[in-house]
Amino acid sequence: MPSPYLLEISVETAEAAVAAERGGAQRIELCTELHLGGLTPGEELMRRVRELVRVPVFAMIRPRAGDFVYSPEEVAHMRRDIAAAKRLGMDGVVLGVLTTDRQVDVERTRGLVKIAQPLPVTFHRAFDDVADLDAALEAVIETGAARILTSGGAPTAPRGLGVLAELVAAACNRITIVPGSGVNALNILEVAQHTHAREFHSALGTRIAYGSYDCSLIEDEVRKMAHALAGMSEFT
């Protein structure tokens, strides 16, 4: 019987993607510059990862570090990057666009979601920068995005458990809430038990230094998280 839980791991190299898959990751979020929160991967990296792993791969679509208020030229760049991700066999994309007054930019996000079709879109942690998370939840649902990656507005998901649980309940199967930031093998069970989420995201940064090429460490940490979720699924 398949596990009711899904573990997504964020990586920035092909080697890390392979290690994460070996460890039991069920989805890869592919980025560059994870220490900056993740930027759009290059075409060669997308191509290489697609060749090497079988699990779904979601590409980050983020043209620069910093805030999530983008110029028309930057949004045009995001459109081209989405087209490249589709052409190179990615299974989804991850993005987020805000307005200058810290709200979800529904119009421009909806346009990017439409361009991404039929690939699903995850609205990333730009969500945690908004002034009103409840209103932002409804706004992201309005865009047609399939998921929200969030720490519940806190610095890390383990520190935002109460809000994350409220978001999962409010989403009510209209959109998937994916707790992320600071999730690791030591706390993933706590996050799962308190939030009632079904999908979880980890960039491993709290356990393994960003940019690490020690794939044995990556594989081991992912295996511990996957094992924890598998054990929990036996009781759900």
What's the pTM value of the predicted model, to 2 decimals?
0.94
Burial (CB < 10 A; 0-12, 13-18, 19+), residue 166, is: middle
CA distances from 186 to 105, 118, 215 (A): 35, 36, 19
Specify the fold of 6-233: TIM Barrel (3.20.20)
The rounded distance, in Å, linking the Cα atoms of 232 and 61 is 32
| Closest C-alpha to 39, from 15, 19, 10 | 10
Q: Residue 210's pLDDT is what?
A: 52
Q: Where are the domains of the chain?
A: 6-233
CA dist 64 and 69 (Å) reads: 11
Please give the full DSSP string across 184-221, using - where no structure is assigned: -TTTHHHHHHHH--SEEEE--TTTS-TT---HHHHHHH
Cα–Cα distance, 54 to 47 (Å, whole number): 13
Q: Under a CB-based contact definition with an 8 Å cutoff, are residues 93 and 110 in contact?
A: no
| pLDDT at res. 100 | 96
- Taking only the tens of pLDDT, the chain with its 236 residues reads 467 999 999 999 999 999 999 999 999 999 999 989 999 999 999 999 999 999 999 999 999 999 999 999 999 999 999 999 999 999 999 999 999 999 999 999 999 999 999 999 999 999 999 999 999 999 999 999 999 999 999 999 999 999 999 999 999 989 999 999 999 999 999 999 999 999 999 998 655 555 556 788 999 999 999 999 998 766 55
Whether residue 8 contacts residue 202, with contact meaning beta carbons closer than 8 Å, is answered with yes
pLDDT of residue 234: 60
The pLDDT score that the predictor gives to residue 232 is 79
Encode pLDDT of 104-138 as tens digits.
999 999 999 999 999 999 999 999 999 999 999 99
